[in-house]
Amino acid sequence: MTALPDKTDRTLGLVIDLDICVGCHACVVACKGWNDTSQTSGLSDSDPYGEAPEGAFLNRIHSYEITREDAPATVVHFPKSCLHCEDAPCVTVCPTGASFKRREDGIVLVNEDDCIGCGLCAWACPYGAREMDPTTQVMKKCTLCVDRIYNEELPEIDREPACVRTCPANARHFGDLSDPGSAVSKLVAAREGMDLMPEMDTRPVNKYLPPRPRDAEIDVLAPLLEPVAEEPRGFLKWLDAALDRI
């Protein structure tokens, strides 16, 4: 079995704001695109437009509708990938040492040359964050784009995970969560960031910022339903007349 480091020099991870994630899947596409070329064996896609598509993804979005008696129904989009847990069970069950946690930054990775595809790490992960590549039969997972964040050939602004760089709503953040002065740590403190399934005692590094409460008395559609004018004018008047002649 593989041992975890007793401590790490840094704790790199993601902070995801569930309040502003719009579920656009841009992070999923960016992750797939980047890791399809940077992973040792890429991410497979079989029959992507056919009746039985099959492939590997490192990041997925789950959407849930939440209903309450005292508030309007809301939809929460929940991105999920490897959480790079401090007590990562996927590492300690690996019989070959293919899964390991780096001492220098806390990132959990898989050495594909040593992976035998036994699937024990997938069974051990309580979050379902491991993906067995159906083509290569080795385990795939989020790497926090380790090949981007340390790549000095890239502009500094691009040295962050592809999902963070791509998010149009700025719902994803990346940094050192062991540094209380980092931007991500301040976000977690200000918004009461939470762990996913803390009862599992895996101590996930990635944090989620909970949705803010909504005001039930605010009707966001009301301004859109008000007429802009009693009678159409200008272009709208011409268009109205033209449509009447059809």
pLDDT in tens, the chain (246 residues): 678 999 999 999 999 999 999 999 999 999 999 988 776 677 888 877 888 888 888 999 999 988 877 777 888 999 999 999 999 999 999 999 999 999 999 999 999 999 999 999 999 999 999 989 988 899 999 999 999 999 999 999 999 999 999 999 999 999 999 999 999 999 999 999 999 999 999 999 999 999 887 665 555 555 555 555 667 677 767 777 777 776
Please, what are the domains in the chain? 12-209 (3.30.70.20)
CA–CA gap between residue 153 and residue 52 (Å, rounded): 39
CA angle 69-71-77, nearest 5°? 110
Q: Considering the entire predicted model, what is its pTM?
A: 0.83
Residue 217 is predicted with a pLDDT of: 56
Distance between CA atoms of residues 19 and 188, nearest Å: 13
> What's the distance, CA 241 to chain centroid?
50
Among 107, 116, 111, which residue's Cα sits nearest to residue 176? 107
Q: CB under 8 Å to 55, separation ≥6 — which residues?
A: 43, 44, 45, 46, 48, 134
- Which residue in 223, 200, 197 sits closest to 208, CA to CA? 197
Q: What pLDDT was estimated at residue 103?
A: 97
Write down the pLDDT at residue 115. 95
29 phi and psi angles, rounded to 5 deg = -65, -45
CB of 12 closer than 8 Å to CB of 106: yes
Q: What is the pLDDT of residue 219?
A: 57
